[in-house]
Amino acid sequence: MITRRIGSRQVSAIGLGAMPMSTAGHMPDEAQSIRTIHAALDAGVTLIDTADAYTPSHTDVGHNERLVAKALASWSGDAGSVLVSTKGGHTRTPGGGWGRDSRPEYLFQACDRSLKALGVESIGLYFHHRPDPQVPYEVAIGAIKDLVEAGKVQTAGVSNADPEQLRIAREILGDDLVAVQNEFSPRFRTSEPEIDVAEEIDIAFLSWSPLGGMGSAAELGSRHAAFGEIAAAHGVSPQQVCLAWQLARSPRIVPIPGASRPESILDSLKALDLALSADELARLNSGS
């Protein structure tokens, strides 16, 4: 398994995004989800991304975290070799909506809830999930720092952050800041500046929805012709081309494609064996 660095740890260069396993209207049964996680782990994945807000209902906060914990507990391998990243500060509201709460007291509560859901004494990587316009960013990240100092969190990250917020987080968290997690895909390329800052301050960039999101991943090749045509030339899926393109963009990028079937994550992992030429990468970068 090709690896990349997050903080002091080496993890698989492609991780598993667990969110689709807890999405209302699309989630598989628990047995299929556990098979998917086990297939990823058996193939060498050592990074699983989850969040307390990944849940089919606001009444079941932590659903995805508990699912990941159950899969790890029942896996035959060494669960200690797997880095589980989770997040706090994004909330769920009645009717399937989303909210934000970065008050320190809420982040402390959310972290304690995640510790319980994951069944651990300390979280390997904990992200501030999304900036809250009602709470100064410095205050929210200060709360994350407090969680690290309390030993509840081993390393910290920020998600959905812009370059200025990344620099604020670096100033507050110092070396405890090991990753940023932002959306990046052929459809959504506006995180290029954050990738550059991640390289500058030497942290990992975890790309969420790297294939364009749950509703668009299957049409990646038809929506973005270059990816489909280059995939056809190599005899691989457009999704593999997309992930190989991201891996080539920066050594700090770790894509975390979502999956709810073993076949999906196993296809994604084949991107690690795909070498794209300079001309192909230039075409993909241009979006033509």
**The residue to which tokens 């994604």 are assigned:** 268
Burial class (CB in 10 A: 0-12, 13-18, 19+), 216: middle
Determine the 3-state secondary structure of 51 from DSSP: coil
Q: What share of the chain is helix, strand, coil (3-state, %, to 5)?
A: 50, 20, 35
Residue pair 48/82 in contact by the 8 Å Cβ criterion: yes
Task: Note if 137 is an active site residue.
Answer: no
State how far the Cα of 256 lies from the Cα of 265, in Å rounded to an integer. 10
List 54, 106, 126, 137, catalytic entry: 54
Of the candidates 58, 60, 67, which has an alpha carbon nearest to the alpha carbon of residue 21? 67
Count of CB atoms situated within 10 Å of the CB of 136: 13
C-alpha distances (whole Å) from 284 to each of 34, 43, 133 are 34, 28, 35
Q: Are 152 and 123 in contact (CB under 8 A)?
A: yes
What phi and psi values does residue 211 have, to the nearest 5 degrees? Answer: -100, 5
What is the SS3 assignment for 3?
strand
Q: Which residues are catalytic?
A: 54
